Amino acid sequence: MIDHATIERIIDAAQIVDVVSDFVKLKRRGVNYLGNCPFHNEKTPSFTVSPAKGIFKCFGCGKGGNSVNFIMEHEALTYPEALKFLARKYQIDVVEKEETDEEKQQKDDRESMMIVSGFAQKYFTRFLWNEDEGKAIGLSYFRERGFRDDIVRKFELGYCPDGKNTFTMAAQKEGYRMEFLEKTGLTIQRDDWVRDRFSGRVMFPIHNVAGRVIAFGGRILKEDPKAAKYLNSPESEIYHKSKVLYGIFHAKREISRIDKCFLVEGYTDVLSLHQSGIENVVASSGTALTADQIRLIRRFTLNVTILYDGDEAGIKASLRGIDLVLEEGMNVKVLLLPQGEDPDSFARKHSATELLKYISENETDFIQFKTKLLLKTTENDPVARATLIKDVIRSVAVIPESITRAVYIRECSRLLNVEEAVLYNEVRRILRTRAEKSGGSLPPELVVKPKPKPVIDVEQKGDLDNEELELLRFLLKYSHYPLFEQDMEHSDQPGIISVGDFIIGQLNEDELVPDKHVFRVIFSEIAERLQDESFQAERYFTHHSDNQVSQLASDLLAEKWIESKRWTRGGGHTEKEHEILDQLVPRIVNEFKLRKIKAMHMELEQQLTGIDHMDGESGLFEILAKIQNLKKIEKYLSEKLGSRAII
C-alpha cells in the first residue's frame, strides 16, 4: 500500500488542469476551463475543470471527480494504479507499506512479468542500435522498409539476437528468473532444453494503455518455410491479445483530440501512418476484431474508420468487424484501398494531407458500403436480393440507439427500394427473437425509456434524496462557517455555532442520521474533524480514497451556474449563498426532518392495515399515539417552512 505522505505529495503535484489537458483540449472560461467531455460524445462542451477546487465535472454525462478519479476513469485503472500513473508523470518516488504475504502473492507475479517485459524491450532496443548484428540485420530491415529512425525509436522497436538462448542467458545474468521469462513467453523451456522464442526476429513491443510493455510481436527475416512470418507472445497474466490494440498508447491522445480512430490490421500499417503524420491509428495485430478491442477505442472516441486492403480478404475482414463496432453504439465507416495496396504501402506513397483527403473522399458509411458491395451479386435474383436485405437489416438491428437505427432504416429503404414499414417489422422481429433468447426482456424498440438525467448514477450517490444531498453540500462547503451566536453558561463572550455544529447536532439529537453509506462516511468524518480548524472538507473529500465518496463530493461542489457579469455591471446585486446561511441551513435541516417525519407517518399508516394481526388493542393505540405526535411535528415544521410543499 502507498503510504499517506506519498499520496499527499502526488495529489499536491497533480494539478487538475495539467492532468486533464493531457487528454482533453481545454479553453479558459473565467476562473474555470471548458472542453468536450472525453467520456461521452458531445458537440457542445459541457466538461468543466475547476483549478481552484481541483475537480472536473461533466454536466452532460454526470462524471466528475479529482485528478486521480479522472485517470482512473480515463485509463481504466484502480486507485493505487492511478496514483502510480501520476507519480510517474511528476517523477515522485512511490513509497509503499509492507504488504501481507497474501497481498504480495497476488501482485508480485504480475508486476514481475511487467518488469521482465520492460527489461526485454530495453535489451532488444539496445541490441538493435548498438550491436553489429542488430544494426546489420534489424536496423537495416527497418530502414529498407522506409521507416525513419525517429519512428523506430518512438515505438521502441528492437532486434532479438539470432542464437539458441542468447537473450535468456543475458536476462538470467541480470538476475531475472526463468519462471517469469517463461510466463511472459520470452523463453521456452522443455526439461533441459532452453531457447529464445523470438531468436533472429525484429521486435515490435506491445504497450498497454498506460504505456507499459506487456508483450511482443516478432517478424522473422530469414527464409524458413517452417517458421511463422510473425510470432506473438502467448497469452499470459498481463497479455490478452483480444483486449489489446497495437499503438493505443501512442494514439490515445490524438484519437481524443480529433475524435476519430483509424483501425488497421498490422504493426507496419501503424508505423507508416505515424510516419506520414497520422497518429490516431491502432491495429488489431492480425487478429479478428473483438468486442473488447472496440470498447478500448470507445473510451477515446465513438468514430471509427476501418482501413483494410482492397482485396477480397480485406473486404471480408471489414464485413466481420462492422457489426461488432455497431453493437457498441459507435459510428463506423469503411475505406477500401486501391487494389494491391495496404495501409502500409499506401501511406508510404502519400503525405498526411493527401492521405486525409483520400480518406475523407472515399470512406463510406457502412450501409452504403455493405449494400453496394452485396448488390453486385444479387442482380436479377429476387431470392438473393431478399437475403441481402436481411443481411443488411441484421447489421442495423445491432445498433443500440433507436434514433440511429431509425436513420439507417430510412437510408436502407432508399438504397434497397423497400418500404420503411417492412424494414421496421424485420428489425422488431430480430430484436424480439434476440430478447427471447437472452431472457425474455422487451426489445428496445418497444420500451419507452426516460431520458437520463445529467447527474451521478443512483449507485454512485447511494440513493440519496435531495435534502440529504443538500445537507452534505452545506457540510462540505461551509462546515466551519459561523452560523449563530449562543450565550455561554460560564463566559461573558457568546459562543459560535458553526454550520457543521448545527447540522450534526440537529441530526444526532433527533437520531435522524441516514444509514446510507456515502452519507454516513461524509457525516461521521466531518463530525470527527469539526474541532480541527485546519481541516479542509472540500479538499479532503474530493481526494477521498473511497471513489464513491470523492465522486459525490466533486459533483456537489461543482457549480454549473455563475453570476452574469452584465447583471453586476448594471448595479444589480444577488445575495451570495454564504451571506444567508442563517436562513438556508435551518430551512434545509427542517425540510430534511419534514421528509423523514412524513415517511415515518406513511409507514405507520401502512401498519394500521395489518392491525388484525396485532396482540389486542394496545398496538392500535400505540400506533395512533405515534401518528398524532408526528402530525404535531409535521404542522410545526410546515409552519416554520411557510407551508412549502415537500415532494
Return the H-helix or E-strand segment holding 120. helix 101-130
Q: d(Cα 534, Cα 541) in Å, to the nearest integer?
A: 14
What is the distance between the alpha carbons of residues 501 and 585, in angstroms, rounded to a whole number? 11
- The per-residue DSSP string of 92-109 comes to -PPPBPPPPHHHHHHHHH
Grid cell of 291 as nine digits: 468486442
CA dihedral 207, 212, 218, 221 (to 10 degrees): 100
Residue 147, Cα to own-chain centre: how many angstroms?
34
**Half-sphere exposure in the Cβ direction for 454 (13 Å, CA):** 14
Question: Coil, strand, or helix at residue 331?
Answer: strand
pLDDT tens-place string over residues 387-442: 777 878 888 887 877 777 788 888 888 877 788 888 888 888 877 777 766 655 54
What type of residue is 37?
C
Give the H/E segment covering residue 621: helix 618-640
Other C-beta atoms lying within 10 Å of the C-beta of residue 489: 5
Q: Could you tell me the pTM of the whole model?
A: 0.56
CB 518 within 8 A of CB 462: yes
Domains in the chain: ranges and CATH: 4-89 (3.90.580.10), 109-311 (3.90.980.10), 368-446 (no CATH), 458-557 (no CATH), 570-640 (no CATH)
- pLDDT tens digit sequence for 95-136: 666 656 665 666 678 888 999 999 999 999 999 999 999 999
Q: Are residues 133 and 127 in contact, defined by beta-carbon separation less than 8 angstroms? A: yes
Cell readout for 233 is 507472445
Among the listed residues 523, 532, 524, 537, the one whose alpha carbon sits nearest the alpha carbon of residue 589: 523
| pLDDT for the residue 644 | 42
* β-bridge mates for residue 336, sequence order: 308
| HEC per residue, 490-510 | CCCCCEEEEHHHHHHHHHHHC
Q: What is the pLDDT of residue 314?
A: 55
CA distance 3 to 161: 42
- One-character DSSP codes across 563-606: --HHHHHTT-----GGGGHHHHHHHHHHHHHHHHHHHHHHHHHH
- Distance, in Å, from the CA atom of 233 to the CA atom of 114, rounded to the nearest integer, reads 13
Cell of 398: 445491432
What is residue 553's predicted lDDT score, i.e. its pLDDT?
A: 84
Closest to 248 (Cα-Cα) out of 287, 202, 196, 300 = 300
- For residue 200, give the DSSP letter: T
Report the candidate in 341, 212, 207, 347 with the shortest Cα–Cα distance to residue 272. 347
Cβ–Cβ < 8 Å for 457, 426: no
Predicted confidence (pLDDT) per residue in 569-623, tens digit: 444 445 567 777 778 888 888 888 888 888 887 777 777 665 554 444 556 667 7
Query: 3-class SS at 400?
Result: coil
Place of cell 499470459: 236
Instruction: For residue 640, give Cα distances in angstroms to 159, 166, 412, 589, 591.
Output: 79, 84, 63, 11, 10
Chain length of the chain: 647
Q: What separation in angstroms does the CA of 316 have from each of 141, 311, 313, 336, 344?
A: 31, 9, 5, 11, 19
421: part of which helix (H) or strand (E)? helix 420-438
Beta carbons of 554 and 55 less than 8 angstroms apart: yes
β-bridge partners, 32: 29
pLDDT at 52: 65
Tell me, what amino acid is at 252? K
The one-letter amino acid code at 625 reads A
Q: Are 245 and 284 in contact (CB under 8 A)?
A: yes
Q: Which pLDDT belongs to residue 262?
A: 93
Question: Up-side HSE of residue 352: CA atoms within 13 Å toward CB?
Answer: 9
- The H or E element containing residue 364 is strand 364-365
Residue 42 has which C-alpha cell?
A: 458531445
Q: Does residue 437 sit in helix, strand or coil? A: helix
Give 391's contacts (C-beta < 8 A, 6+ positions apart). Answer: 370, 374
Instruction: Identify the pLDDT of residue 446.
Output: 41
Residue 47, beta-bridge partner list: 35, 58
Cell of 416: 434497397
CA 202, CA 223: separation in Å to the nearest integer? 14
**Integer Cα distance of 121 and 129 in angstroms:** 13
Q: Please give the Cα distance from 450 to 547 (Å, whole number).
A: 27
Cβ contact 591:646 at 8 Å = yes
Residues 458 and 455: their CA atoms lie apart, in Å, by: 9
Name the stretches of the chain with pLDDT < 50: 442-460, 561-573, 613-616, 643-647
Residues 616-625: contacts with CB within 8 Å, 24+ apart?
A: none
In 3D space, the residue among 15, 89, 78, 24 whose CA is nearest the CA of residue 52 turns out to be 15
Nearest residue to 547 (alpha-carbon basis) of 71, 170, 5 = 71
Q: How far apart are CA 180 and CA 529, in angstroms?
A: 47
- Per-residue pLDDT at 237: 87
Q: Cα separation of 255 and 262, whole Å?
A: 9
pLDDT at site 313:
58
